[in-house]
Amino acid sequence: MKRGQVVSRRTTTSHTKHSLGAVLDTEIRNGWAYLQVQWVHQGQPIVPLDEKSEWVRVDELVFINPIEELKRVQDALTLSSALISENFAKALEKENGC
């Protein structure tokens, strides 16, 4: 796995439903790929530090394409705005030829 790849993991201990982090390193153990991941926590400095990382088995992670995720969030926000504002919905319909 490439260093710097963005990953996500479901959590049950946090107020959020998933954690986001980045891959620092990869190694194979007993036939499984393990990734060294540093998680991002709100309010904490974002500095690559090995001592703040964790080794996680690859099947516990979801690999994220940040650009695609940002596009999906933007589409969801556009839809939300159209549902809230009738005028915005009409403008979108006109723009999309509906």
Find, among 39, 30, 33, the residue nearest to 6 by Cα.
Answer: 39
Same domain assignment for residues 2 and 50: yes
Region of residue 58 (phi > 0: left; psi between -120 and 50: alpha; otherwise: beta):
alpha
Q: Are residues 96 and 76 in the same domain?
A: yes
**Higher-scoring residue by pLDDT: 10, 78:** 78
More confidently predicted of 19 and 7 = 7
Strands (E), the chain: 6-10, 18-29, 32-39, 53-57, 62-64
**Confidence band (pLDDT; 50, 70, 90) for 15?**
low
**What's the whole-model pTM score?**
0.73
Looking at the structure, tell me whether residues 69 and 95 fall in a common domain. Answer: yes
What amino acid occupies position 72? R
Residues of the domain holding 80 = 65-98
In a shared domain, residues 4 and 38: yes
